[in-house]
Structure 1
């Protein structure tokens, strides 16, 4: 006769350690793997991009704004030329790199700053806080939106400049390689700073009034609308602290002849300084995002 199984001699059912490799996760456990974070971030990016192109105000004031401004300048100053003696060029070609830099700023700092502040004000971030969406996935979604919209904007701007205004585009592969890393670094830096600056407005309604003037002032002092070499030295030094001046300078190194290099503040394109300053702002923006971003305001 077999012995009866009693609580005293029953082998306890010890669950496997969740940290042991190859063991299944506990039912209901939240997957926090990097793969899941990335997947959710890409899904969020698709949502953000679709939402962006459904907003008419975003299309007018961020996506199409640089194209409109280049068209206005080209029509208003059609009889003028820019550049050192013997290297003058038409207005559209001179303003193309500046408008590309401005588009990066608008897609990142202005658009994301206003957008996130609005989402914080209308309760969107509070609702997201109650979902399994990681903060990192939310950031990936915003970065994806900025990258896609800025790329589409730049492509359209270059196409309009070439087909409508007859702007000569560079043919050297090295210049396009410079364009690629300046553009990518600029978009990442602007997007991170947009997330960080979204913390400044006290409400979603005040976001435009707080953030838009900052971007407008930066454009005027950074050589976007005004020729940078004609600005007072103290204003040039002030603009040199911020990344937009360096983004515009990097873009000029791609689309303008080498003879324009002498008009820069340091007498050269200073591409290593472009990478250094933008890199510093990128790291600073990441630190600010990490320290200040919350789904909701503590004082709200």
Structure 2
């Protein structure tokens, strides 16, 4: 090849490289694709009125039911047992949105081929989980708002008035959502038949509500039941919500007679880390196989 030919071809090569670089820069990133799909899933969900009503109806119905039954005063003359129920239902609603929605959504999308159809798009595994996270956080926030609004309107529930209590509420909400979402990913990965996913999710979730002190004081449960409930995150989520929303005088109802916020953070943090490791061992391997 002559020097003249090389000189003529060099600008062409540099032009092709520049075009490829521009195309790569124009490709959507992990965050943008994940958030974009998450917003799309939110729109699809709220267009399904039946799904919206059913997801909001259960925590609201349980709060109204148990709040109407338990009217007795506890700890002091100003707090009733229904306030304990409100805090527990909030924790239960967060777990329902994170654990139930994540497990059900992933199991269904694995079974109907949604993940395989995403193979030809610039959509990564990380983007997929980011989209699901956007969806479940939105659902959990909406449920929390609805429950608190009804609690204030129907039961005259008093909301926290200090920044510290709202901060406690925020980190309990965040750690609880992440920990139970990772648990939902793992459960969803173990279900091979889409028709059985509802039972696989509802059975442990309903059982946990009754051994975690969601609808009554955890300290009133038998010791053996307390040990079982203390192993799972819902008990600590409910305790953290009570610490954020109820007066400190209510802490006497806890087994340790204190809120134990340090232990709440430690246990929920351990579930976040352990749940993530469990996902790596189960669900991520299957999803990567579906994508690749």
TM-score range, shorter chain: 0.7 to 0.9
Tell me by how many angstroms 1:178 deviates: 0.9
| 1: CA distance, partners of 2:119 / 2:278 | 20
5 Å-filtered alignment, 1:86-105, equals 86-87=76-77, 89-105=79-95
1:218 is the counterpart of 2:208: yes
Q: Considering only aligned residues, what root-mean-square deviation do their CA atoms show, in Å?
A: 2.5
TM-score of the superposed pair, with normalisation by structure 1: 0.85
5 Å-filtered alignment, 1:55-74, equals 55-56=48-49, 58-74=51-67
Change (3 A) 1:284 1:24: farther
The match for 2:124 among 120, 127, 134 is 134
Tell me by how many angstroms 1:31 deviates: 6.3
| 2: CA distance, partners of 1:157 / 1:147 | 15
| 2: CA distance, partners of 1:96 / 1:279 | 24
| 2: CA distance, partners of 1:286 / 1:270 | 24
Structure 2 unpaired stretches of 5+: none
| 2: CA distance, partners of 1:82 / 1:94 | 11
Contact 2:217 2:253 in 1 (8 A): no
Tell me by how many angstroms 1:92 deviates: 3.1
1:46 is the counterpart of 2:36: no
Tell me by how many angstroms 1:173 deviates: 2.1
1:11 is the counterpart of 2:3: no
1:183 is the counterpart of 2:177: no
Q: Which has the higher helix share?
A: 2
| 1: CA distance, partners of 2:89 / 2:211 | 14
Q: Deviations over 1:216-262 (max 9, x none)?
A: 11111111134311111121111111111100000011122212212
Contact 1:82 1:94 in 2 (8 A): no
Change (3 A) 1:211 1:286: same
| 1: CA distance, partners of 2:118 / 2:274 | 26
Q: How many residues align?
A: 283
Residue aligning to 1:125: 115
Residue aligning to 1:3: none
Structure 1 unpaired stretches of 5+: 1-6
1:202 is the counterpart of 2:192: yes
**Which of these two proteins has the greater Rg computed from alpha carbons?**
1
- Where do 4+ consecutive residues of structure 1 move more than 4 Å? 12-16, 27-33
| 1: CA distance, partners of 2:98 / 2:22 | 37
